[in-house]
Amino acid sequence: MSQSLLRRGILAAAESETVARFVHRYGPNLGAFRFVAGNTLDETVPVLRELNRRGLSVTLDRLGEGEVDSAYADQAEAAYLAILDRIALEQLDSHVSLKLTQLGLDLDREAAKARLVAIVSKAEAQGSFVRVDMEDSRHTEATVSLFMELRPDHPGIGLVIQSYLRRSEADMRELARLRANVRVVKGAYLEPPAVAFPDKAEVDENFKRLVAMHLEAGCYTAVATHDPVLIAFTEDFTRSHGIGPDRFEFQMLFGIRPALQQALAERGYRVRVYVPFGPDWYPYFMRRLAERPANLGFFLKNLARR
Ligand X SMILES: Cc1cc2nc3c(=O)[nH]c(=O)nc-3n(C[C@H](O)[C@H](O)[C@H](O)COP(=O)(O)OP(=O)(O)OC[C@H]3O[C@@H](n4cnc5c(N)ncnc54)[C@H](O)[C@@H]3O)c2cc1C
Residues that bind ligand X (CB under 6 A): 133-134, 160, 162, 185-189, 224-227, 251-253, 256-257, 274, 288, 291-292, 295
Nearer to ligand X, 219 or 231 (CB): 231
Q: Which residues pair with 157 in a beta bridge?
A: 130
Q: State the Cα–Cα distance between residues 261 and 149, nearest whole angstrom.
A: 34
Catalytically annotated residues: 133, 183
Nearer to ligand X, 168 or 225 (CB): 225
Closest distance to ligand X from the beta carbon of 230 (Å): 7
Closest distance to ligand X from the beta carbon of 229 (Å): 9
At 191, is the secondary structure helix, strand, or coil? coil
Is residue 209 within 8 Å of 237, Cβ to Cβ?
no
- Which of 46-50's residues contact partners 24+ apart within 8 Å by CB, and which partners? 47/254, 47/275, 48/90, 48/92, 48/94, 48/275, 49/90, 49/92
Closest distance to ligand X from the beta carbon of 134 (Å): 4
3-state secondary structure 206-274: HHHHHHHHHHHCCCCEEEECCCHHHHHHHHHHHHHCCCCCCCEEEEEECCCCHHHHHHHHHCCCCEEEE
Nearer to ligand X, 77 or 204 (CB): 204
CA dihedral 87, 29, 281, 25 (to 10 degrees): -140
CB atoms within 10 A of CB 295: 18
Nearer to ligand X, 85 or 245 (CB): 245
Nearer to ligand X, 233 or 274 (CB): 274
Is residue 218 within 8 Å of 193, Cβ to Cβ?
no
Nearer to ligand X, 89 or 138 (CB): 138
> 163: closest CA among 211, 112, 118, 129?
211
CA dihedral 134, 135, 137, 139 (to 10 degrees): -90
